[in-house]
Structure 1
Amino acid sequence: MRNDARARLFAPIFTALVASAWIVLWAWGAGPYARYVHHASWSDLPGVAAICEAVPGGSLLLDALLHSAAWLLMIAAMMLPTVFPLLAGFRRLTAARPDRRVLLALLVSGYASVWALFGVAAHVFDATLHQVAERVPVISLYAWLLGAGVVGLAGAYQFTRIKYRCLEKCRSPLMFVMEHWTGRNARRNSFVLGVSHGAFCVGCCWTLMLLMFAVGTGSIGWMLALGAVMAAEKNLPWGRRIGQAVGVALIVWACGIGLMHAG
């Protein structure tokens, strides 16, 4: 297949893959194993069930694999659309190479590995907090503070210097590829390129992703909203202003939670 034909097919195939991830998430969330997609929100405390219930008749390893698969599916649905310009630019750069598909797969793998590590850390922290709350009932009475804190943190982070630095890296994908792509040891270079971009992406969006744990992961509506915000921030000309508006809205929301429970 000629390069121009491949170029025309790249965007539709990419869109179909992302759409498939959303469909699978929706179907999974409506099925008998939805608990691997949904985690309890802080508004559900006290009495929340254990985060990682074993598959009936299954093993702890299978349980962990299903949680990991659900998280990576969320990342594919929410984050891949935000890095489409990077992937498209890298595809053009390597279009003449016979191993271009392998290099693109390694780039995506490197990117996904960073978000996978973030997911492990976030899930462990979230599960630990839930377990502590179950053992210390008084914490459950003030669970709203944790939710308000996460929402407020996400809002305040939108205005920090590190957020802007990471966002600028994400908003200049072609420059990022040119800075990090050497062509030497191409497979390793592709994976490291994905890891590097993933690290900046996490630096840009980690607090927004934490909102999933404050409101309960697995909500298709929340994932669509947060994914749209992150994609707009990175890819639209007025993305920074959208991010600032979201920051203000989150801070107001956190204050509203506080006022609701003040009495």
Structure 2
Amino acid sequence: MPTYLLVAALTLGARPWLILISLAGWGLLLGAVQMLSIPAYCGTFPALDSAASWAGVEQALLFNPPRQLLSSWWLMLLAMMPLLLIHPLEHVWQRSLSRKRWQAVALFVFGFVAAWTLAGVVLMTVTVGARVMLGLSQVTAFVAALGLGLVWQASPFKQRCLNRCHYRPRISAFGFAFVRDCLRYGVVSGGWCIGSCWPLMLLPMLADQGHLPMMALAMGWMILERMQRAQPPRWHSPFHLRLFR
């Protein structure tokens, strides 16, 4: 790309780039859709009692190696998360020295992805455990996760996490403090995002035949939630939105 075009693109801000990254993630997902059906193996059992054992877990991991599961999870993050990072990345960019901006962005993204990777391990463990160790059917596991997600969506704990997703910390300009602040901001932002979004990330993992449409719905809902004004943490309808904060 010619230099003047690159400079012109950078002046547009983070949004066009994050949209392109998200679209690239969706393109990769469409090309590797077979990697996403994490619990689909459970359906190959003629009887649930043969799956509900450690032997079932070992066979599930044989059909779905951890490396493949993590790759699938990172693709999900690549597709679903970029548009949630518009305001945090703009904050990091604007609060950093011009010569350190890309370093600040890299540190923030590393911390954010590290937090969500740990969450992914937990969610995948819950998914495999529900389908293999507990012997739950696809429909039962999905309905149970949906019910749990609706309760969490309506809870004050969810609203508190969502409010904290808008936190903008101070970022030091130099030295170790700069590295620490950017990395910590990524980890903390990822942690509050996990608290807000984990049920919406769990549902596509349990939707064997409809995980891509479910991912698209979850992503759209998460984006709408981030447009909300901060609200007092209290119980409310799980479908309640107040946009344009």
Contact map agreement 2:162 2:193 (CA 8 A) in 1: yes
Normalising by structure 2, we get a TM-score of 0.77
Structure 1, unaligned runs of 5 or more? 56-62, 134-138, 248-263
TM-score (norm 1): 0.72
Count of equivalent residues: 222
* Code of the aligned partner of 2:61: C
Identity of aligned residues (%): 20
- Separation in 2, partners of 1:230, 1:11: 16
In structure 1, the partner of 2:84 is 82
The offset of 1:123, in angstroms, is: 1.2
Q: How does 1:53-92 map to 2 (within 5 A)?
A: 53=62, 63-92=65-94
Q: Which residues in structure 2 correspond to 1:79-118 (within 5 Å)?
A: 79-94=81-96, 96-118=97-119
Answer yes or no: is 1:166 the counterpart of 2:168: no
**Gaps spanning 5+ residues in structure 2: where?**
241-245
1:146 corresponds to which of 141, 147, 156: 141
Aligned ranges for residues 1-263 of structure 1 at < 5 Å? 5=8, 6-8=10-12, 10-29=14-33, 34=34, 36-40=35-39, 44=43, 46-47=45-46, 50-53=59-62, 63-94=65-96, 96-133=97-134, 139-140=135-136, 144-170=139-165, 172=166, 176-177=167-168, 179-183=169-173, 185-216=177-208, 219-236=211-228, 244=237, 246=239
More helix by proportion, 1 or 2? 1
**Larger deviation: 8-17 or 71-80?**
8-17
Distance 1:166 1:190, change over 3 A: same
Q: Quick one: structure 1 residues 229 and 150, their matched pair in 2 at CA, closer, same or farther if it must change by over 3 Å?
A: same
Higher relative contact order (CA 8 A, sep 6+): 1
How many Å separate the matches in 2 of 1:217 and 1:81? Answer: 25
CA distance in 2, matches of 1:98, 1:123: 39
Distance of 1:239 and 1:225 partners within structure 2 = 23
Root-mean-square deviation (Å): 3.3
Cα offset for 1:203? 0.6
